[in-house]
A = this chain, B = another copy of it.
Amino acid sequence: MLNVTNSEGVQLQAKLFRGFSDPARLAILQALQNGPQTVTDIVATTGMSQPNTSNHLGCLRDCGLVIAEQQGRFVTYHLSDDRVGDLLALASSLLADVARGVYDCTRYTSRDELRTKLIKEHIND
Binding site for B on A (CB under 8 A): 1-8, 10-27, 30, 45-48, 55, 58-59, 61-65, 80-81, 83-84, 86-88, 90-95, 97-110, 123
* Chain B hits for A123, CB < 8 A: 8
Instruction: Count copies of this chain in the complex.
Output: 2
Residues of chain B contacted by A6 (CB below 8 angstroms) = 23
Complex CA gap A108/B60 in Å reads: 9
Dominant SS among interface residues on chain A: helix
| B14 contacts A26, C-beta separation under 8 Å | yes
- Complex CA distance for A23 and B94, rounded to whole angstroms: 21
Q: In the complex the two chains form, is B15's CB within 8 Å of A18's CB?
A: no
A48 touching B1 in the complex, CB below 8 Å, given contacts A16-B105, A64-B98: yes
